[in-house]
Amino acid sequence: MITGKNYIGNTLSALGSKTYTTFNPQKNTENTIVFTEATSDEINDAALLASKAFQTYSKKSGKDKAVFLRAIAEEIEALGAELIEVYTSESGLPTGRAMGERGRTVGQLRAFAAHLEEGSWIAASIDTAQPDRQPTPKVDLRKMLVPLGPIVVFGASNFPLAFSTAGGDTAAALAAGCPVLVKSHPMHAGTGELVASAIIKAAEKTGMPNGVFSNLNSSGIEVGQELVQHPVVKGVGFTGSIRGGRALFNLAANRPEPIPVFAEMGSVNPVVILPEALQEKAADWAKTYAGSITLGAGQFCTNPGLLIAIKSNQLHQFSQVLAEEIVKVEPSCMLHPAIVGAYESNKAHVVSQSGIEVLAESSQEIKGNYGRQIVSKVEGKMFLENPTLHQEVFGPFSLLVQCEDKQQLEQVVKQLEGQLTGTIIGEGEDLFNYKEVVSALQDKVGRIIFNGVPTGVEVCPSMQHGGPYPASTDARFTAVGVGSIKRWVRPFSFQSWPNNLLPEALKNENPLKILRTINGVKTTNKV
Ligand code: NAP
């Protein structure tokens, strides 16, 4: 049952007077449950509980944390139909998407559990002492990764489950040994509370300390700002807009003790279409891209917002088919009136720029909160001169940049900002003839795709989800896959420490049987 209250550790609490409701975009009405925003006292209580919980939670074994993560997955599944109903009522997204995202969320939790059970992620490194070394003896040094401390997590509007309350950031931080304080997303506060209740139940059942998890309601930015500035908080995970991510990054950097903010933000995901690929497959690629641009009403961080190619008859055919196909797609419901409003105004702003030609815009009758898809075109020269055209329009929108020649194509790619993904559509000799373009694109992105679409993010260890700024605030890390655990740890060395007082991962006997580096050699052997 949804109460509208905050979870301050294991306790439901609603001391504040500021309340709000979520919105059903399909029905175009407010939902009925009233949520109470967390007060400064509640934020402080949650943060102090998290700090206390860190003392014991950070020492839990990988196996114990894995039991906790698996229990969270089970409790989320046990929420059953209620979770799916609340998710769809707060997002306008269809049931199939809700179920798919739930599967992905519990799958992520279980993947982290398996990662912990295997254990080698901790990167144990041992350099044994050489007391007889000349001219000076060498000391015994042993290094491993240790958790940072309490982490604040901000979820995004477009992934109420997989990038929110028990999404990738939370799963990774809990796996690392860090308590989590979630700043609940106001657009899906009910989904958030249900998932929070599952995490709390799992924590109680598996004996995790009170404060290992808290969920704080908010209808504006203040709760998040207070959380980021709280002195016990040691890191921030953010998924959302560039504006929001950058504001929190600046806030964290200006603290007396600056802390890392891993913000995964918007992106236009450029798609470079090389000439030969259009010779025979212009129509096929146009159809494929009409589908990718409109998938989920374009509300994906990997939406292909920019298509870049060289002027030709085949490109003309591509743009014609794209225009025909895109208007055939049924418009879909967007997440919230505020998202529709931002989409409409960003779209209008781009279309009003000089040199923009609208290739096609859906003119179907649409219900309130539905988004009309649009593709437009601009010459390479105008694109190079106008940074407004380089920005994300969150929704079913894409801009085709028509370049004069290979040199201009390369110039356009080189001028792009950092991106989550880049795509090359190419055939035959073009892949060699355009290798400078491919290389320029590689420098701008976290993941490069060959003859495919950027939408669809596989959750697996080899996925890189994050890219050079402004796609992410730190391109060295991924937000998806078990590798994302590395954002919530720091390296720590023990020097000349007695074997019996060392953590299990570093003991001579290797009781965890993990892969370690001993005197430069990777091994599961004892010291
Ligand atoms: P958003 O408006 O940035 O909101 C995200 C969260 O941050 C919300 O809880 C929001 O609170 C909070 N927030 C925003 N600005 C803040 C500030 N200045 N101070 C404190 N808190 C602040 O983003 P969204 O509309 O939810 O999500 C859509 C965006 O996310 C798109 O740009 C999409 O591309 C991106 N996205 C990126 C990824 C990725 O992995 N890179 C994945 C999914 C989505 P309030 O709502 O209360 O303001």
CA-closest candidate to residue 239, choices 198, 188, 203: 188
Q: Is the pLDDT of residue 61 over 90?
A: yes
> What confidence score (pLDDT) does residue 138 get?
98
Q: If you take atom 35 of ligand 1, which residue's CA is the nearest one?
A: 240
Three-state DSSP at 213 gives strand
Q: Taking CB atoms and a 6 Å cutoff, what residues make up the pocket around ligand 1?
A: 154, 156-159, 163, 183, 185-186, 218, 220-221, 224-225, 239-241, 244, 247-248, 264-266, 301, 392, 394, 420, 465, 479
Measured in Å, residue 228 CA sits from the centre of ligand 1 at: 15
The tens digit of pLDDT for each residue in 207-225 reads: 999 999 999 999 999 999 9
CATH number of 6-265+477-487: 3.40.605.10
Q: What is the dihedral of CA 274, 279, 282, 284, to 10 degrees?
A: -110
Residue of 158, 267, 306, 458 with the most ligand 1 atoms within 8 Å of its CB, for mutation: 158
* CA 516 centroid distance within chain: 30
User: Using 50, 70 and 90 to split pLDDT, how confident is the model at 497?
Assistant: very high
- Name the token pair of 317: 């055919």
Active site residue 392: no
Please, where in the chain does CATH 3.40.309.10 lie?
271-450
User: Using 50, 70 and 90 to split pLDDT, how confident is the model at 364?
Assistant: confident
State percent of the chain over pLDDT 90: 99
Measured in Å, residue 264 CA sits from the centre of ligand 1 at: 9
State the average pLDDT over residues 348-359. Answer: 97
Please, where in the chain does CATH 3.40.605.10 lie?
6-265+477-487
Q: If you take atom 45 of ligand 1, which residue's CA is the nearest one?
A: 220
Q: Is the pLDDT of residue 85 over 90?
A: yes
The tens digit of pLDDT for each residue in 448-486 reads: 999 999 999 999 999 999 999 999 999 999 999 999 999
State percent of the chain over pLDDT 70: 100
Q: Is the pLDDT of residue 40 over 90?
A: yes
Measured in Å, residue 245 CA sits from the centre of ligand 1 at: 7
Q: End-to-end CA distance of the chain: give it in Å, rounded.
A: 53
State the average pLDDT over residues 355-376. Answer: 95
Tally of residues, the chain: 527
The CB density around residue 363, as the number of other CB atoms within 10 Å, is 8
Q: Is the pLDDT of residue 374 over 90?
A: yes
Measured in Å, residue 162 CA sits from the centre of ligand 1 at: 14
The tens digit of pLDDT for each residue in 299-349 reads: 999 999 999 999 999 999 999 999 999 999 999 999 999 999 999 999 999
> What confidence score (pLDDT) does residue 248 get?
98
CA-closest candidate to residue 400, choices 465, 344, 444, 350: 350
In sequence order, what E strands does 437-503 have? Answer: 445-450, 489-495
The tens digit of pLDDT for each residue in 389-410 reads: 999 999 999 999 999 999 999 9
**Annotated active-site residue in 101, 264, 276, 392:** 264
The C-alpha angle with vertex 128 and arms to 123 and 133, in degrees rounded to 5, equals: 140
Measured in Å, residue 160 CA sits from the centre of ligand 1 at: 12
Active site residue 301: yes
Residue of 301, 336, 469 with the most ligand 1 atoms within 8 Å of its CB, for mutation: 301
* CA 98 centroid distance within chain: 17
> What confidence score (pLDDT) does residue 365 get?
87
Q: Is the pLDDT of residue 521 over 90?
A: yes
Q: If you take atom 14 of ligand 1, which residue's CA is the nearest one?
A: 244
Q: How far is CA 273 from CA 289, 312, 413, in A?
A: 11, 12, 12
CATH number of 271-450: 3.40.309.10
Count of helices and strands (H, E) across the chain: 15, 23
Q: If you take atom 19 of ligand 1, which residue's CA is the nearest one?
A: 221
3-state SS string over 378-435?
EEHHHHHHCHHHHCCCCCCEEEEEEECCHHHHHHHHHHCCCEEEEEEECCCCHHHHCH
Q: Is residue 24 within a helix (H) or strand (E), and if so which, with residue range? A: strand 23-24
pTM for the complete prediction? 0.97
> What confidence score (pLDDT) does residue 357 get?
97
Measured in Å, residue 62 CA sits from the centre of ligand 1 at: 31
Measured in Å, residue 397 CA sits from the centre of ligand 1 at: 19
Query: Which ligand 1 atom lies nearest to the CA of residue 303?
Result: 34
The tens digit of pLDDT for each residue in 236-245 reads: 999 999 999 9
- What is the C-alpha separation between 165 and 175, in angstroms, rounded? 15
- Average per-residue pLDDT in the chain? 98
The CB density around residue 59, as the number of other CB atoms within 10 Å, is 12
DSSP 507: S
**Annotated active-site residue in 90, 101, 301, 410:** 301
Query: Which ligand 1 atom lies nearest to the CA of residue 183?
Result: 9
Q: Is the pLDDT of residue 157 over 90?
A: yes
